[in-house]
Structure 1
């Protein structure tokens, strides 16, 4: 990753002058996309990409009231308090090591991963990757405060408690998921249908969660792989929304190294519940053949995503390249899935 140029830090500074959402509920993907661009050697495109993306962003929402350790529960899940939450986490991170703050708040925030279609958790995953791989500095620590604050403000519980305890692999469980009756709706409306969807809870609880923390990363990586490959064949149900079925668990996977081991198993279970919900709401019923990626390198695929320019395409390609890097030689299915996002999502969506 190009770190000496400071491109990521410059981009984060620009983005921290804007709010986490626009047009009422759409997530600001800027911090996630620029981290992915820099990560894959495309730092030269970051500021030009931001010049266009910034035109649709909005000002930071006003402060309401300071959040404290005594009253934070009252503000949890209140999107109007998002700037208050950012201030709260900025104070905590200034007082203590960021890993300690993350470890304390992860179990509080994790159950609300479904909020804002999982975007806050994904934003956390991107900045934790930057902090763990590239080191700490003020813009990255500020980004962690923004990401955690967004998650706290949009904290949303699924309307059903999921406790996976079966023997199914992620690929088997995803393939067996039933679809909600009313498809391609706003996430909250889709979530509300999950408890009444026949077979949904049983299928979700069929996933195998390893009995030891050490085995969790492998199973979580298998979930990311299964969701990515599923997009290759079923992404045409909703090209944008189904991206998050893969990028959300990958964000959790990226965060695991910064968390205590006792949080790894619960993290897998919650990430799977979020993925299952998104697949059931947005995946197409019938599969199609994904594009042919056999002649392309991972770098060329990410280059196509960068040229396309949509933030969802860039983020999904970033995850797909993670999957491709772990795949056996000759297995280009993850790259094909990334090409499917390029094909399905219109530039500027």
Structure 2
């Protein structure tokens, strides 16, 4: 069950974070806004600032603006990471002037094709911001949505020319059918560039309610799969689950006609990440002991790694034992935050 934090801790943390940029060293994402929202949503607002104190060394100053983004020039600014401050300012003004759901509905179909930018982190950040706003609106939460949308627009990156391979009836079987790719570089864009074919799954879905059901299935399958495949790349394979879950938790704030396109984009992203980081073989995994969701979350918080906490957040959304096992596997595979 999600909790609406009324302590003000989330607001304080977001205000603290909005003086920092969405990336560091030019390519690594600032995960802190997503983590603090996860902690607050699951009743651990008291840990937000303590965790931030550990993470603070990874933050960089907010970037300088270049030129305003306007209704007339936004297309030329789309996908230009130098304009991230301009984009955040644009969305800050938009959510101040209009209802945030109207802004989201206008920009979601524009941004959705480019959800690969920033290694899918912008859509994940937007998903966390939307969940916070659905729990309760405040100025820092609105600002967080602006930061997430602005980051997404600045690093917007599309993928085209992916051939269709035969899929399978279920999301789990279709993920199993994804062919692994190999790239000479470890960088996300270089790996993405060699993804040329992916299985087709749920491509005929047009009904909004069916789209939600299939997206829920995808999140569950990708989360479960991490337990046996996460060793392929313990950090990046988290996004095969957290990116579609960000889309799923945003659906209720979007017009229903956007639900099916959102499913299709989420599948392609999850499948692409699976292709880019798939291990040679799965490894059977049984957690050392069954634990309650709260115990799993406490272990993730004690570990501290941002991706571990975010996968645990998604695992708690899924809510079954295989999902909790995946979160525990992430704890085992990942390096703790110190």
Bucket of the pairwise TM-score, normalised by the shorter protein: over 0.9
Alignment of 1:87-236 (within 5 A): 87-132=89-134, 134-160=135-161, 168-182=169-183, 185-195=186-196, 200-201=197-198, 203=199, 205-236=200-231
Residues 130 and 282 of structure 1, relative CA distance in 2, 3 Å threshold: same
Instruction: Output the aligned Cα RMSD.
Output: 1.7
Aligned to 2:74: 72
- 1:172-218: per-residue Cα shift (whole Å, max 9, x none)? 110111001337721111111112xxxx33x1x24454231111111
Alignment of 1:295-314 (within 5 A): 295-314=290-309
1:42, distance to aligned residue in structure 2 (A): 1.3
Aligned to 1:10: 12
Structure 1 residues 34-43 or 72-81, which shifts more? 34-43
- 1:62-114: per-residue Cα shift (whole Å, max 9, x none)? 01001100000010000010000000001111111000000000000000000
Aligned to 1:263: 258
Residues 256 and 162 of structure 1, relative CA distance in 2, 3 Å threshold: farther
Distance in 2 (CA, whole Å) between partners of 1:165 and 1:261 is 28
Aligned to 1:48: 50
Distance in 2 (CA, whole Å) between partners of 1:190 and 1:344 is 22
Alignment of 1:17-36 (within 5 A): 17-36=19-38
Structure 1: gaps of 5 or more residues = none
Residues 294 and 310 of structure 1, relative CA distance in 2, 3 Å threshold: same
Aligned length: 336
Residues 315 and 49 of structure 1, relative CA distance in 2, 3 Å threshold: same
Distance in 1 (CA, whole Å) between partners of 2:278 and 2:103 is 36
1:299, distance to aligned residue in structure 2 (A): 0.5
Distance in 2 (CA, whole Å) between partners of 1:26 and 1:185 is 13
TM-score, normalization: structure 2? 0.95
Distance in 2 (CA, whole Å) between partners of 1:281 and 1:232 is 17
Residues 319 and 184 of structure 1, relative CA distance in 2, 3 Å threshold: farther
1:166, distance to aligned residue in structure 2 (A): 6.3
- 1:101-160: per-residue Cα shift (whole Å, max 9, x none)? 00000000000000011000000000101111x221100000000000000001001133
Distance in 2 (CA, whole Å) between partners of 1:152 and 1:161 is 22
Could you tell me whether the CA contact under 8 Å between 2:30 and 2:58 is conserved in 1?
no
List structure 1 segments (4+ residues) > 3 angstroms apart after TM superposition. 161-167, 206-209
Aligned pair 1:336/2:325, yes or no?
yes
Residues 127 and 162 of structure 1, relative CA distance in 2, 3 Å threshold: farther
